[in-house]
Amino acid sequence: MKNRIVAEIFKDIAQMLEIKGENHFRIRAYERASQNIDSLPDDVELLAKEDKLKDIPGIGKDLEEKMREIISTGRLKYLDELKKEIPEGLLQMLDVPGIGPKTAKVLYEKLDIQDIVMLERMAHAGKIRELPGMGEKTEENILAGIDIVKKGRERLDLRTAMDIAESFVSKLEKIKEVKKADAAGSLRRVKETVRDIDILVSSKEPGKVMDAFTGFDGVKDVLAKGPAKSSIRTNDNIQVDVRVVEAESYGAALMYFTGSKEHNIKLRQIAIKKGLKLNEYGIFKGEKRIAGKTEEEMYKALELSYIEPELREDRGEFEASAQGNLPDLVKLSDIKGDLHAHSTWSDGSSSIEEMVIKAKELGYEYIAITDHSQSLKIAGGLDNHTLELKRKEIERLGNKYKDIKVLFGAEVDINSKGEMDYPDDVLKEMDIVIGAIHAGFKQSKEVITKRIIKACENKYVHIVAHPTGRLWGSRDAYDIDFQEVFKAARDTNTVFEINSFPQRLDLNDINARMAKDSRVKIAINTDSHTAEQMDMMRFGVAVARRAWLEKKDVLNTATFNKLKLKKTMF
Ligand code: DGT
Ligand code: CA
């Protein structure tokens, strides 16, 4: 699929035009096109062949031609020309939090800084503080930002990792000699970020499997090649390890390479206590293998009930398993609707109707359209008048699509004092109100904690979205006193969100589990800005499972009739 390449090129163009100070609408057109293409399920190459590129929202004649050029040549002359004016390193600098196009331009023109390496050097040398409008604090922020970017590059986000793993697993499964193939490691435990891709294969002819694997398209370097283990690096510099075992050891190896390391260590201790030996080939009583073919068999031999991969972190799963108290984890199929989604009414790229159609396809009973509130101008926040028009549109669609409920809501900014961006009489009229912080991230822990508590105390704020503001690779979570916040949430019946965006996954597994332990309800939402992004629900569900959540802990597993949309205690 060339979708990613096209989307990246359009995004680069948008940023270059921004550095050049071009017209806002042109920039927005490229951004939107990039967003739409990135979340498209169809292969753009096929669409081009069928002459359907112009059906993609936001793609007019000009962008269609540019797409064709990228699809057939892998590059775009227009971007090459822009690159002559603006060095590519400047674009990477925009990944550093706090560096926008304007700052990048100043740094380039005054200090000739052209990439992140030079940026870091100049900040260390104290050169940036000498520029007008910048100071020591700016330098500190830039250095902290560079650390976040570096950290982000060390680990893959879940979506990227799953895409790569799925493509390798399906290619391996097509090899005649392969009986079975599964992703293992942190990816199978569905951790929010993943360092490398571990794949396990069952086969009697490892040599042939490894020959095929190391020769796959997209393999840049072969780092190691042997019958038991081979490692490659993809064109995008991602490491993929494949291990081949025989069927009788497949369960043992899957267990071992799924980890976590902490879980494995405990497993081995349990085996030793029972006078057994456990390794990646099986469980042995003396010389005799008593388990190894499946994971179920392995756990059973240790007198444990099966532990789902998401729970294998040595966070209490052994005790729960031995006592028969493991949670019945929430599943993607339990989800009955999405309670946080945007549309073209604010900064989304799909119309409300397109969102509704997608929600129907997913089998949902309800979808909440929660565009941004008035202060968030850059994201097209709605004023009172537009809100009324939007309400009418939602009513119209509600009449047109009888088998799904379309909820009228908003993602309302919690301002720096903890006040909501719409007055109570406006909030009162909404089916659902989501409170969210979009500015003032640098406030102290006490202030941010108070802001969120104040939002919880508003009787119309039903859900707090992406509570810690974390954006993997570009912004650290802000510090919150969750003890205090969850206490307020429980007392006020406020629900907290697990945001399914792969860069967010916020609340994370640890915080969401703490929410459950504090008897705070969770909503798993996608925060979609295009209809296709509604498929990201699976990432949020993964976090929920890692947090030990069951169906009853999650608000949007309720059928519409049972869905409590208002706070009950006020
Ligand atoms: P990552 O790659 O950092 O996202 O996390 P993992 O969990 O995938 O770690 P990785 O790739 O180093 O190893 C894959 C699995 O192999 C790991 O989850 C458990 C197992 N493993 C690796 N090293 C050890 C070890 O020293 N002891 C034990 N018991 N298991 C290990
Ligand atoms: Ca790994």
Q: 3-class secondary structure for 196-264?
A: CEEEEEEECCHHHHHHHHHCCCCEEEEEEECCCEEEEEECCCCEEEEEEECHHHHHHHHHHHHCCHHHH
Digit-coded pLDDT (tens) for 200-247:
999 999 999 999 999 999 899 999 999 999 999 998 889 999 999 999
Q: Which of 263-267, 275-279, 381-385, 404-408 has the lowest mean pLDDT?
A: 381-385
Digit-coded pLDDT (tens) for 358-369:
999 999 999 999
Kindly report the number of other CB atoms within 10 A of residue 19's CB atom: 20
d(CA 163, CA 176): 23
Question: Where does the pLDDT of residue 570 fall: very low under 50, low under 70, confident under 90, or very high at 90 and above?
Answer: low
d(CA 497, CA 489): 12
Confidence (pLDDT) at 101: 81
d(CA 76, CA 85): 15
Name every residue whose Cβ is closer than 8 Å to that of residue 103 and which is 6 or more positions away in sequence: none
Over range 289-311, report the average pLDDT.
97
d(CA 366, CA 561): 10
Ligand nearest to the CA of 188: 1
Residues with CB under 6 A from ligand 1: 185-186, 194-196, 198, 256-257, 259-261, 264-265
Let me know the angle formed at the C-alpha of 99 by 94 and 102, rounded to the nearest 5 degrees: 95
Digit-coded pLDDT (tens) for 472-491:
877 888 889 999 999 999 99
Q: Is the pLDDT of residue 23 over 60?
A: yes
Confidence (pLDDT) at 13: 93
* 101 alpha carbon – ligand 2 mean position (Å): 36
Ligand nearest to the CA of 186: 1
d(CA 65, CA 78): 11
**Cα dihedral sign, 553-555-557-563:** positive
Q: Is the pLDDT of residue 272 over 70?
A: yes
Ligand nearest to the CA of 257: 1
d(CA 69, CA 76): 6
Contact status, residue 426 vs residue 383, Cβ threshold 8 Å:
no
Question: Are β-strands 229-234 and 156-157 bridged in parallel, bridged antiparallel, or unpaired?
Answer: unpaired
* 198 alpha carbon – ligand 1 mean position (Å): 9
Q: Cα separations (Å) of 436 from 278, 371, 479?
A: 48, 12, 15
* CA-based nearest residue to 116, from 138, 141, 91, 135: 91
Contact status, residue 254 vs residue 307, Cβ threshold 8 Å:
no
Contact status, residue 559 vs residue 336, Cβ threshold 8 Å:
yes
Over range 436-446, report the average pLDDT.
90
Question: Are β-strands 288-291 and 282-285 bridged in parallel, bridged antiparallel, or unpaired?
Answer: antiparallel
Q: Is the pLDDT of residue 152 over 80?
A: no
Confidence (pLDDT) at 357: 98
DSSP string for residues in 64-85: HHHHHHHHHHSS-HHHHHHHHH
d(CA 215, CA 149): 32
* 196 alpha carbon – ligand 1 mean position (Å): 10
d(CA 541, CA 550): 10
- Nearest protein Cα to ligand 1, atom 26: 261
- Nearest protein Cα to ligand 1, atom 19: 259
* CA-based nearest residue to 401, from 432, 433, 369: 369
DSSP string for residues in 98-137: T--HHHHHHHHHHH---SHHHHHHHHHTT-GGGSTT--HH
* 256 alpha carbon – ligand 1 mean position (Å): 8
Q: What single-letter DSSP state applies at residue 310?
A: G
Confidence (pLDDT) at 569: 57
Confidence (pLDDT) at 63: 95
* 327 alpha carbon – ligand 1 mean position (Å): 24
Ligand nearest to the CA of 155: 1
261-273 and 250-258 helices, crossing angle to 10° = 130
* Higher-scoring residue by pLDDT: 566, 318: 318
Alpha helices in 458-548 (DSSP H): 482-492, 509-517, 537-546
* 230 alpha carbon – ligand 1 mean position (Å): 16
Edge-to-edge, what's the strand order for the sheet holding 178-183?
178-183, 197-203, 239-245, 229-234, 219-225
* CA-based nearest residue to 342, from 308, 380, 306, 377: 380
* CA-based nearest residue to 484, from 525, 454, 507: 454
DSSP string for residues in 511-531: HHHHHHHTT--EEEE--BSSG
d(CA 66, CA 354): 25
First vs last Cα of the chain: how many Å apart? 51
The SS3 of residue 1 is coil
Over range 135-158, report the average pLDDT.
87
Q: Pocket of ligand 1, candidates 198, 245, 269, 298: which has the most ligand atoms within 8 Å of its Cβ, to mutate?
A: 198
Q: Is the pLDDT of residue 103 over 60?
A: yes
Rg (CA), the chain: 26
* CA-based nearest residue to 529, from 371, 349, 282: 349
Residue 491 has phi, psi (to 5 degrees) of -65, -25
Over range 99-116, report the average pLDDT.
88
State the pTM of this model.
0.82
Question: Where does the pLDDT of residue 379 fall: very low under 50, low under 70, confident under 90, or very high at 90 and above?
Answer: confident
Q: What letters, b where the CB count within 10 A reaches 16 and e where it falls short, cover 289-315? A: bebbbbbebbbebbebeebbbbbbbeb
Q: Is the pLDDT of residue 44 over 80?
A: yes
Q: Which two tokens mark 498?
A: 């697990």
d(CA 37, CA 26): 17
Over range 444-471, report the average pLDDT.
96
Question: Where does the pLDDT of residue 333 fall: very low under 50, low under 70, confident under 90, or very high at 90 and above?
Answer: very high
**Cα dihedral sign, 384-388-393-399:** positive
